[in-house]
């Protein structure tokens, strides 16, 4: 379902050109097309193949962000989670998450209760969002795979899982249904502001093509500043750090339950999750200084995650069958990445806008924040749809190149 290039003649003029087809680019394409703008999205690979296929695959408020006081982010993400559970039932599904509490746990029982109560309230309450506390004795049979030494209780709360790349493709598909043109294998080479429009030079499946647009939206994720450097006049760029997160996959499921665990090494939160018949374990936070194309799991990250698995699931003897890494875009600051803001930042100048950071979960709300900027840059159009009411359906492999 990629837009056939033959439908996009040389020098086609669009209201909005979006660079990068991850969840943010797909979300902005959907929101802009729904608001009545003509949209071109260029993705240099396949839709969702960047960071948006390397996440922990959670549609969540982020319980752990309460520890760093990011209450607004958690509230907005929980609202978006509830909406996505309704709009995308084939892609986003509710799960119970379990937090085992040990005598040695850094987070104490009262802290978990407090955090989970706030999480419940921010989610709007209701029976689906209620959390539970059970003593370990009553749960031994159901959680036998878990290390039982000094286990005192297990808390259970509710969140959601997804297939991140499939969700991204579904959003892109929705954008396309609203009239957006999506080009894959389409890499931005340069863009130049000239006479009231951006002249956009891209290489599309190996062929040089030129498009025009009234404004440019940079949603290139970890490549955001590399894309910005290809634009004239040079737009402002935010000072960011790329922070790598690695995941492991175990082909034989370790457990049928979703776990929210405290890494014994440093107290960070690590998830152990059922994932497409396997177990997904992650993640890490390692400052990354290389080119985003070269991001790979590091030996020490793999060892760290394997040690978490061994600690909590002592009977597991299998080695991970796969591993992958992605990059977070975080504001440059002192202190650990763990407590750094996960809020998205919008940087604008003239008819240029760039998105920095943000969560998979909040893509729709983020895209809505872009619309007033489009109104300022391009003018108002007649709205054709409301993204908070558009169902999302799996687009299968519609945007993946066939080998």
Ligand X SMILES: Cc1cc2nc3c(=O)[nH]c(=O)nc-3n(C[C@H](O)[C@H](O)[C@H](O)COP(=O)(O)OP(=O)(O)OC[C@H]3O[C@@H](n4cnc5c(N)ncnc54)[C@H](O)[C@@H]3O)c2cc1C
- Binding residue (CB under 6 A) for ligand X from 187, 255, 286, 351: 187
Report the alpha-carbon distance of residue 284 to residue 297 in Å, rounded.
Answer: 10
Half-sphere exposure of 236 (CA within 13 A, CB side): 12
Q: Interface with ligand X by CB under 6 A: which range of 40-48, 93-101, 106-114, 135-143?
A: 40-48
Report the alpha-carbon distance of residue 138 to residue 142 in Å, rounded.
Answer: 9
Nearest approach, Cβ of residue 108 and ligand X (Å): 25
Report the alpha-carbon distance of residue 256 to residue 236 in Å, rounded.
Answer: 47
Q: What share of the chain is helix, strand, coil (3-state, %, to 5)?
A: 30, 30, 40
Q: Does 235 bind ligand X (CB under 6 A)?
A: no
Site map (CB under 6 A) of ligand X, residues 239-268, x = contact:
------x-----------------------
- Binding residue (CB under 6 A) for ligand X from 16, 23, 29, 84: 23
Site map (CB under 6 A) of ligand X, residues 355-394, x = contact:
---xxxx---------------------------------
**Number of chain residues interacting with ligand X (CB under 6 A):** 37
Binding to ligand X (CB under 6 A) within 291-350 occurs at 326-328
Please report the DSSP string for 325-394 in residue order. Answer: EEEEEEE--SS-GGGS----EEEEETTEEEEE---STTHHHHHHHHHHHHHHHH--------GGG-----
- Binding residue (CB under 6 A) for ligand X from 50, 100, 235, 320: 50
CB nearer to ligand X: give 115 or 222.
Answer: 222
CB-based contacts of 206, cutoff 8 Å, min separation 6:
185
Dihedral (CA of 208, 214, 219, 225) sign = positive
- Binding residue (CB under 6 A) for ligand X from 22, 115, 297, 320: 22
Nearest approach, Cβ of residue 363 and ligand X (Å): 7
Nearest approach, Cβ of residue 65 and ligand X (Å): 11
- Binding residue (CB under 6 A) for ligand X from 102, 119, 173, 223: 223
Q: Does 80 bind ligand X (CB under 6 A)?
A: no
- Binding residue (CB under 6 A) for ligand X from 52, 174, 255, 351: 52
- Binding residue (CB under 6 A) for ligand X from 220, 231, 248, 337: 220
* Residue 213: its H or E element: strand 207-218
- Distances in Å between the alpha carbon of 376 and those of 214, 350, 353, 394? 11, 9, 11, 33
Contact (CB, 8 A) for 31 and 39: no
Contact residues: ligand X, CB under 6 A? 19-25, 42-45, 49-52, 54-58, 187-188, 219-223, 227, 245, 283, 326-328, 358-361
């Amino acid at each position: 379902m990629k837009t056939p290039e033959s439908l996009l003649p040389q020098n086609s003029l669009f209201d909005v050109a979006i660079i990068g087809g991850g969840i943010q680019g797909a979300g902005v394409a959907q929101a802009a097309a729904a608001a009545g703008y003509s949209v071109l999205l260029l993705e240099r690979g396949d839709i969702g193949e960047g960071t948006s296929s390397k996440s922990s695959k959670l549609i969540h408020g982020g319980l752990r962000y309460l520890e760093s006081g990011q209450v607004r982010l958690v509230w907005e993400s929980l609202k978006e989670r509830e909406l996505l559970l309704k709009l995308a039932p084939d892609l986003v599904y509710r799960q119970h998450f379990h937090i085992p509490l040990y005598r040695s746990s850094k987070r104490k029982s009262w802290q978990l209760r407090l955090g989970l109560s706030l999480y419940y309230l921010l989610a709007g309450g209701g029976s689906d969002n209620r959390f539970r506390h059970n003593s370990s004795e009553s749960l031994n049979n159901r959680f036998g795979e878990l290390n039982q030494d000094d286990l005192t209780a297990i808390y259970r709360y509710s969140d959601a899982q997804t297939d991140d790349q499939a969700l991204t493709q579904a959003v892109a598909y929705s954008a396309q249904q609203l009239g957006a043109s999506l080009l894959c294998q389409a890499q931005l080479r340069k863009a130049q502001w000239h006479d009231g429009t951006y002249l956009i030079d891209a290489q599309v499946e190996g062929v040089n093509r030129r498009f025009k647009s009234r404004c440019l939206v940079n949603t290139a994720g970890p490549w955001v500043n590399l894309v910005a450097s290809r634009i004239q006049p040079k737009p402002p760029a935010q000072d960011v750090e790329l922070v790598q997160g690695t995941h492991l996959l175990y082909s034989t499921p370790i457990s049928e339950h979703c776990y929210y665990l405290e890494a014994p090494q440093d107290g960070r939160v690590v998830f152990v999750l059922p994932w497409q018949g396997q177990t997904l374990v992650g993640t890490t936070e390692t400052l990354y200084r290389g080119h985003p194309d070269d991001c790979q799991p590091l030996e020490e990250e793999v060892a760290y995650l394997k040690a978490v698995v061994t600690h909590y699931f002592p009977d597991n003897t299998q080695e991970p069958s796969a591993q992958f890494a992605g990059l977070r875009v975080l504001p440059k600051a002192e202190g650990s990445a763990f407590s750094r803001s996960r809020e998205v930042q919008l940087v604008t100048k003239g008819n240029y806008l760039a998105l920095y950071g943000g969560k998979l979960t909040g893509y729709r709300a983020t895209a809505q924040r872009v619309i007033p900027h489009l109104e300022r840059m391009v003018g108002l159009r007649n709205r054709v749809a409301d993204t908070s009411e558009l169902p999302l359906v799996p687009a299968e492999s519609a945007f993946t190149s066939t080998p």
